[in-house]
Amino acid sequence: MAGIKHDRVALDPFTRSYVECALWLGQDGTSEADPNDGSIDLRAEYGWSDLSESAQARILADCAAFQAEHGELIGAEADRAGSDFLLTRNRHGAGFWDGDWPREIGKVLTDASHPYGDFVLVLTDDGTIESQG
């Protein structure tokens, strides 16, 4: 993945990885968007400071709660776990379950991710980035 636009914001490695992955999987909700393919990689031009306050609050709350509950299983892999948390909660084609984590740990983290439900960042007509899901 290409690098995220660098903001002068101090996010922990888990949350930073989560945000980068969410921007990578962003959706274009603008009226000019192709309705058949709304995916847009937002990382090059957008960063943390471009997210709405509600999107930031949701990210901080979800990432903090997940880490508080499962920090011992994540261990030193926080930078990888943040993106896996987003991918798994969205039931993407990769995540905690895909074999990069020990089987039992991957299962626990996968099962813990699903109740959080979908999370998608959407670029709106007015140029703000909101969360949906």
Q: Answer yes or no: are the C-beta atoms of 27 and 90 closer than 8 Å.
A: no
2-14 per-position pLDDT tens digit: 445 556 578 999 9
Q: Is the dihedral of CA 62, 128, 39, 6 positive or negative?
A: negative
Report residue 4 as tokens. 């995220």
What pLDDT is recorded for position 102? 95
* Nearest alpha carbon to residue 46 among 86, 90, 2, 94: 2
CA distances from residue 133 to 117, 118, 121, 127, 130 in whole angstroms, order as listed? 7, 5, 9, 19, 10
* 50 or 127, greater pLDDT: 50
Q: What is the DSSP letter of 122?
A: E
Report residue 28 as tokens. 């274009």
- Per-residue pLDDT for 38 more than 70? no
